[in-house]
Structure 1
Amino acid sequence: MDAGRVHDGLDGLLLRVLKLSEEVGEVAQAVIGATGQNPRKGVTHTWDDVRSELCDVIITALVALRTLTPDAQAVFTAHLARVAERSLCGAGDHRST
């Protein structure tokens, strides 16, 4: 992915993070299309499209995380463990992530 990058450094990082917002917008567009919420267009997407767009969000987020740290897998695994622990502790524990 880095071979085709036009921007390096901070600009490249910022653009990768902004790409995540674009992908989330595509999820919203797919949900609107799957539910026919745009009266001018009707149903334009399927729930398979929504699932696909969600996968794109995950991939884009992982690419952004990898851009921030070479140890993205360890960072993600540790964070996931904290979220799982917090979820298993119950609703009374409201520590921030």
Structure 2
Amino acid sequence: MPDDEFIWSEAQRWRTHLDARNGAGPAELTLRLLKLTEEAGEVAQAWIGVQGQNPRKGVTHTVDDVVAELADVVFTSLVAIASLGADPRQAVTDCVVKAAGYLDAGSAQAR
């Protein structure tokens, strides 16, 4: 199994690939950001399929399908972050530090 470095290097490699194939102008960056909405929609579709909410289709997906779609959202986000010229690893680290602070503050308030 690849190590964690593989995730970060692949996000950068995909950014490089997309830049070479599609360019890196404002329209392309907009499409990369909109791709997140598409991927999030696939999460919703899979969850609806798990719940069997479409009476015409019934149960069409598994929780594993939902997890895979959520992972697509994460990876697409990492590529989008890289496409904006930021470091995905640092962006995620900053987000986790901020989230940890919320829990730490909430724990202190609960005491």
Same structural fold, with TM-score higher than 0.5 when normalized by the shorter chain: yes
Over residues 33-81 of structure 1, what are the superposed CA-to-partner deviations in whole Å (9 max), with x where a residue is unaligned? Answer: 1110000110111111011101101111111111112422112212210
Q: Identity over aligned residues, as a percent? A: 48
Q: CA deviation at 1:12?
A: 1.5
**Contiguous gaps of at least 5 residues in structure 1:** none
> What SS does the aligned partner of 2:35 have?
helix
1:3 to 12, 17, 21: 17
Report the equivalent of 1:12.
28
State the aligned residue count: 93
- What is the aligned-residue RMSD (CA, Å)? 2.0
Q: What is the distance in 1 between the residues matched to 2:102 and 2:85?
A: 24
Q: What is the distance in 2 between the residues matched to 1:18 and 1:92?
A: 38
TM-score by length of 2: 0.74
**Contiguous gaps of at least 5 residues in structure 2:** 1-13
> What SS does the aligned partner of 2:22 have?
coil
What pairs with 1:1-97 in structure 2 (closer than 5 Å)? 1=14, 2-4=16-18, 5-90=21-106
Q: CA deviation at 1:83?
A: 1.4
Please identify which structure carries the higher helix content. 2
Report the equivalent of 2:9.
none
TM-score by length of 1: 0.84
